[in-house]
Amino acid sequence: MTRSKLARLAAIGAATLAVIAGSAAPASALSDKTLNLPSGRGYMKFHDDGDVFSVCDTKADGHGVTGRLWEVNSITHNGGTVLVLTDGGDSGCGKKGYNVDDLHHYSMDVSWNGDGIWYSSEWFNE
């Protein structure tokens, strides 16, 4: 298992424990959220109006950007990836709708395909 997969599993485990313990409530998704990559390479954005996610590659460097949405059930604490978006090599951003609700917790990940390092947002819900 790669280091990034182990880190993601550890993050999900930590988030699940926080939910179980009730010690940390997720941030509310009452507005748009953006997760930026370093060096201005791109970003993943949650558009609260319409529950649309977008991934944008902002540099013409031959590598695209990949984003994914994680979902964890607030009651069962089961979860996983529910949405994957890519962008690169074309105009515009990759976009897709996904209903964000108050029964689940969500986290966005975004990676520049040139190095495969994943960056994660805080957990949120509506």
pLDDT (tens place) for every residue of the chain, 126 residues total: 555 554 555 555 545 444 433 434 555 556 899 999 999 999 999 999 999 999 999 998 899 999 999 999 999 999 999 999 999 977 789 999 999 999 999 999 999 999 999 999 999 988
Residue among 91, 90, 89, 110 at smallest CA distance from 39: 110
Whole-angstrom distance, CA of residue 96 vs CA of residue 53: 5
Claim: this prediction has a pTM higher than 0.95: no
Decide: 57 and 39 in contact? Cβ < 8 Å: no
Torsional sign, CA 28, 103, 74, 98: negative
pLDDT of residue 19: 43
For 5, the token pair is 């997969």
C-alpha closest to that of 84 among 72, 99, 68, 100: 68
Q: Which residue type occupies 72?
A: V
- Rounded CA separation 126/32 (Å): 11
What pLDDT is recorded for position 31? 87
pLDDT for 90 equals 78
The single-letter code of the amino acid at 122 is E
Q: Compute the distance between CA of residue 42 and CA of residue 60 in angstroms, rounded to an integer.
A: 10
